[in-house]
Amino acid sequence: MSDPRAIGVFDSGMGGLTVLRALEARLPEERFLYLGDTARLPYGTKSGDTVAAYALQATRLLVSCDVKLIVIACNTASAVALTALMPAFAPTPVIGVVEPGAAAGVAATRNRRIGVLATEGTVRGGAYVRAIHALDAGIEVCQQPCQLFVALAEEGWGEGEIAEAAARAYVTPLFGGPDAPDTLVLGCTHFPVLSAAIARAAAPGVSLVDSAVTAAESVADALLREGLASSGAQGARTRFLATDAPERFARVGGVFLGRRIEADDVELVDLGAA
Instruction: Mark 157-176 with x for binding to ligand DGL (rule: CB under 6 A) and - for no binding.
Output: --------------------
Q: In sequence order, which residues have a C-beta less than 8 Å from that of residue 158 and are 6 or more positions away? A: 152, 193, 194, 196, 197, 255
Q: How far apart are CA 188 and CA 209, in angstroms?
A: 11
58 sits near ligand DGL (criterion: CB under 6 A):
no
Nearer CB in complex with ligand DGL: 93/101: 101
End-to-end Cα distance, the chain:
31
Nearer CB in complex with ligand DGL: 42/246: 42
Identify the DSSP state of 116.
E
Active site amino acids:
74, 188
CB of 189 to ligand DGL, least distance (A): 4
CB of 154 to ligand DGL, least distance (A): 8
Let me know: does 194 contact 153? Beta carbons within 8 Å.
yes
102 sits near ligand DGL (criterion: CB under 6 A):
no
Alpha helices, H only, the chain:
17-26, 48-64, 75-89, 98-108, 120-125, 127-135, 148-154, 161-171, 195-201, 212-225, 246-257
Scan residues 215-274 and list those touching ligand DGL (CB under 6 A). Answer: none
104 sits near ligand DGL (criterion: CB under 6 A):
no
38 sits near ligand DGL (criterion: CB under 6 A):
no
Q: How far apart are CA 42 and CA 63, in angstroms?
A: 23
Residue whose C-beta lies closest to ligand DGL: 44
Nearer CB in complex with ligand DGL: 5/40: 40
CB of 8 to ligand DGL, least distance (A): 16
Identify the DSSP state of 71.
E
188 sits near ligand DGL (criterion: CB under 6 A):
yes
In angstroms, what CA-CA distances link 103 with 107, 108, 192, 210, 234? 6, 9, 17, 10, 33
Nearer CB in complex with ligand DGL: 150/184: 150
Q: How far apart are CA 58 and CA 70, in angstroms?
A: 10
Scan residues 117-146 and list those touching ligand DGL (CB under 6 A). Answer: 119, 122
190 sits near ligand DGL (criterion: CB under 6 A):
yes
Q: How far apart are CA 33 and CA 146, in angstroms?
A: 28
Nearer CB in complex with ligand DGL: 154/230: 154
Nearer CB in complex with ligand DGL: 180/245: 245
35 sits near ligand DGL (criterion: CB under 6 A):
no
Is residue 186 within a helix (H) or strand (E), and if so which, with residue range? strand 183-186
59 sits near ligand DGL (criterion: CB under 6 A):
no
Rule CB under 6 A: which residues touch ligand DGL? Answer: 11-13, 15, 41-44, 74-76, 119, 122, 150, 188-190
